[in-house]
């Protein structure tokens, strides 16, 4: 039983460390678009990544120690950071598995086959380009000088 608790603790710490690295890299990429540059960008990315890893490790259910006092932090403040870290880990996992899922599709559709039965007679005809804003074009046709 103690071995399983130890393995669970190591797994939670590994997920927290992975979340720290991924959140740190993502924050470093995103923060310049928000106006943070230089040391402020690095410090803010480190703080968000540390809170994310801390949230994952503190909010995970672990075996309580025998004479451990209750945590002095407010764990509900770490929920958004833990959700951020877990969401980025999930997106990374999906991105890594997407090529495998595409390659192992049961019956991939050939590109020349129409998607719907109603398109069977129109598969060889070129499509007309659709206008995004038909209101502007109708106004332009009514007023040729403007």
DSSP category for residue 119: G
- By CB atoms closer than 10 A (0-12, 13-18, 19+), residue 60 is middle
**What is the value of pTM for the model shown?**
0.58
Q: What integer pLDDT is reported at residue 2 of this predicted model? A: 64
Q: Which residues in the chain come in under a pLDDT of 50?
A: none
Q: How far apart are CA 24 and CA 48, in angstroms?
A: 7
Q: What integer pLDDT is reported at residue 44 of this predicted model? A: 92
CA distances from 126 to 118, 119, 122, 129 (A): 15, 12, 8, 9
Measure the CA dihedral 85/29/47/38, to 10°. Answer: 180
Q: What integer pLDDT is reported at residue 48 of this predicted model? A: 92
Q: What integer pLDDT is reported at residue 26 of this predicted model? A: 92
Quick check: 57 and 12 in contact, CB under 8 A? yes
Q: What integer pLDDT is reported at residue 81 of this predicted model? A: 86
Q: How far apart are CA 108 and CA 81, in angstroms?
A: 39
Q: What integer pLDDT is reported at residue 95 of this predicted model? A: 87
> Which of 41, 38, 86 lies closest to 60 in space, CA to CA?
86
Distance, C-alpha 31 to centroid of its chain: 16
Q: What integer pLDDT is reported at residue 11 of this predicted model? A: 86
Beta carbons within 10 angstroms of residue 116's beta carbon: 6
């Amino acid at each position: 039983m103690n071995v399983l608790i130890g393995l669970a603790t190591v797994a939670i710490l590994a997920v927290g460390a992975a979340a720290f690295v991924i959140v740190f890299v993502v924050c470093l990429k995103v923060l310049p678009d928000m106006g943070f540059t230089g040391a402020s960008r690095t410090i803010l990315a480190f703080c968000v990544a540390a809170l994310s890893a801390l949230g994952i490790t503190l909010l995970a259910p672990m075996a309580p120690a025998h004479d451990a006092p209750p945590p002095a932090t407010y764990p509900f403040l770490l929920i958004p950071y833990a959700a951020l870290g877990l969401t980025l880990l999930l997106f990374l996992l999906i991105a890594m598995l997407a090529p495998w899922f595409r390659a192992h599709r049961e019956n991939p559709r050939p590109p020349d086959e129409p998607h719907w039965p109603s398109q069977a007679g129109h598969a060889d005809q070129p499509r007309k380009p659709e206008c995004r804003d038909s209101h502007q074009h109708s106004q332009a046709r009514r007023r040729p000088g403007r």
